[in-house]
Structure 1
């Protein structure tokens, strides 16, 4: 029961907050809003304030916002709103801002959750990695690292997650990684270039995996939390999550990561349920990460997603003319086909994972 409630609150809350971004930006820009709903499906309660109907609906998995004249088909039908309040009759840059506000709110929510967790704990946990062994002829040895070194930073940033070192190396894409190291109480900087080795990944496929050639431990380091540190730590964690998600998408596109690892709503629900049993902090950490993933997913330049609309409106803002209707329709067809294929893949992976893992 607790897991079910957690799934509803996390998924519903994240989607609703995304829609809230669209709603608030539309109101700030003076656009007409016909309805704004918490939840989907049958309406349980509604109240009209001004020209906007606020609804509480039966299915609590998200929400939606309906703007006046939000499509070419409805722009001439919403006569209850003056022309200057209809979405499609507003300048392209304003429409772009309304669409962009949804993903931005997901990033802001991720940052806010991280910040709240850091403040509530009164301290922030940083991580350091004591180097136990440096392998012969490895990138780490060639850079000058030695056993006993303690890695305390990556690319000039403190380390907020025990997985940050591995993921940074994994996503290095053959670029040098700058490691901050303490040796005998003295700080050093080493520029290490990971090399690719073939090994089986968790999906039983042979993929090139970059390594620096060390074995290390992981040690938490508690630091008292001031206001500035909490804000900076949350921002750093948010940026790290954005980079990790974006690089994961890129690795899948490049064929450097398996499609078997792609999951959908079932996998997300399982993850939320598992974290719910571990405690509130785990649920909130996962919610922040999913919110950031949702923001990035919606920014992909695929028609029917926010990113596709941003691409079209951006083109119109720069050129002064809208995208050709035939091009728009074709792109929408391709984008919808891609999304349906992606949904089929995620459901297949989720079901396969349940049956055979």
Structure 2
């Protein structure tokens, strides 16, 4: 219910304000608006106010503003001066551009609200590297401090991760880091066109985390094999079947490989050494593979976290400035993504649809209002940029038509416009199919 509610609220906010941008500028230029609809399909709620019918429709994948237009049917002679297609191209450009620009402005405002309540910054420092991962193969080590990706400086963990993931399929990714000893080196990730790159695109994970785990028990689930073996929070792991445990990740990997097997675990508590036995539960994942699980989690390295995580509260002016920077950064990343998508330098696995958006909406809402507000801001940026792409059927395609009309002094031929619309519809249908396919594969693991 939380996921559904968070998703519906996101659609209502982002789509309604996008369409309201079109509506306001249309009314500013005295264009007659006959319908304002949130959602597609037959409206289940309608209310007439003035010349405009306000509607809610059942398919929550968009909305529209319907204006008087002679190309769409008969228009009363008294309404001709207020028809959209009878306006100067500059006015039509302003009306069409207002929707995407409203989304970008909304993103700035949402980020400003969130940042004003405080910012938890995660520095781009590597705390943990998983064995056999893309990051491990590239030579990343705990303690690395990421400074730049392909020559572009990064300021926080999110920027670093986004830049790396976006460039995985474009060729070698050169990541400039400063090691824990202070040496400047370049870690090279070269996994383009591999299964590992495709999996990373789906999971948004290349095998490294900003936080560091101690080789100590942080949490024990009730009635789990770990709890039945008597393990408690704070216990330090020493060895399994007589072999020392190098770190928590190595211990976890050993447990995963030992489903149903009896293990002897040595640990330290209160300065004394103890031994216990346990048998990991056998768990089957979505790919029908069996792995072991004992219901125990690691203790976080709080000293390291204090260095990596930084919390501060900016004033209103600083929050707005940071919001503009963050929106600009995501606009650049989004445009770069679409550019790489066109050239084939980024995997189609990165494309997400409404199912993934709903899932993330629910997860961010569960974390807290700030996470949810920043999620809305990010989706608003994506919606704004997507609609500005020069594809017929999107706002950007209409902007392209009206720009040509303004330059030529007359509109493009009806035949050419219709051909462009058919191509645009085909492209968007293909994009939607890929998005739904990715959603389903993620949902099913």
TM-score under structure 2 normalisation?
A: 0.63
Question: Counterpart in 2 of 1:17?
Answer: 17
Cα 1:256–1:95, aligned 2, differ >3 Å: closer, same or farther?
same
8 A Cα contact 2:174 2:189, kept in partner: no
Question: Counterpart in 2 of 1:342?
Answer: 431
CA distance in 2, matches of 1:304, 1:340: 11
Question: Counterpart in 2 of 1:162?
Answer: 157
Show the 5 A alignment for 1:149-298: 159=155, 161-168=156-163, 197-198=190-191, 200-204=195-199, 219-298=308-387
Q: What secondary structure, in the 3-state scheme, does the structure 1 residue paired with 2:31 have?
A: coil
The alpha-carbon deviation at position 148 of structure 1 amounts to 8.2
CA distance in 1, matches of 2:16, 2:357: 17
CA distance in 2, matches of 1:345, 1:95: 32
The alpha-carbon deviation at position 101 of structure 1 amounts to 0.6
8 A Cα contact 2:45 2:56, kept in partner: yes
Cα 1:321–1:194, aligned 2, differ >3 Å: closer, same or farther?
farther
Q: What secondary structure, in the 3-state scheme, does the structure 2 residue paired with 1:66 have?
A: strand
CA distance in 2, matches of 1:176, 1:353: 25
8 A Cα contact 2:126 2:144, kept in partner: yes
More off after superposition, 123-132 vs 222-231: 123-132
Cα 1:266–1:204, aligned 2, differ >3 Å: closer, same or farther?
closer
Question: Counterpart in 2 of 1:4?
Answer: 4
Q: What secondary structure, in the 3-state scheme, does the structure 2 residue paired with 1:46 have?
A: strand
Cα 1:177–1:94, aligned 2, differ >3 Å: closer, same or farther?
farther
- Larger radius of gyration, structure 1 or 2? 2
Show the 5 A alignment for 1:313-352: 313-352=402-441
Deviations 1:16-68, CA, capped at 9 Å, x for gaps? 1110010011111222222324555335341322xx22424354835432212
Q: What secondary structure, in the 3-state scheme, does the structure 2 residue paired with 1:163 have?
A: helix
Matched, 1:104 2:97: no
Show the 5 A alignment for 1:75-94: 76-83=74-81, 85-94=82-91
Structure 1: any 5+ residue segments left out of the alignment?
Answer: 133-146, 184-189
CA distance in 2, matches of 1:82, 1:68: 8
Cα 1:32–1:126, aligned 2, differ >3 Å: closer, same or farther?
same
TM-score under structure 1 normalisation?
A: 0.77
CA distance in 2, matches of 1:149, 1:273: 33
8 A Cα contact 1:37 1:65, kept in partner: yes
Q: What secondary structure, in the 3-state scheme, does the structure 1 residue paired with 2:72 have?
A: coil
The alpha-carbon deviation at position 234 of structure 1 amounts to 0.6
8 A Cα contact 2:35 2:55, kept in partner: no
Question: Counterpart in 2 of 1:53?
Answer: 52
Cα-Cα RMSD: 3.8
CA distance in 1, matches of 2:188, 2:154: 24
CA distance in 2, matches of 1:205, 1:178: 17
Cα 1:281–1:124, aligned 2, differ >3 Å: closer, same or farther?
closer
Cα 1:35–1:216, aligned 2, differ >3 Å: closer, same or farther?
closer
The alpha-carbon deviation at position 81 of structure 1 amounts to 1.9
Size of the alignment, in residue pairs?
A: 325
8 A Cα contact 2:154 2:160, kept in partner: no
Show the 5 A alignment for 1:140-155: none
8 A Cα contact 1:174 1:194, kept in partner: no
More off after superposition, 214-223 vs 300-309: 214-223
The alpha-carbon deviation at position 98 of structure 1 amounts to 0.5
Structure 2: any 5+ residue segments left out of the alignment?
Answer: 128-141, 212-304
Matched, 1:27 2:27: yes
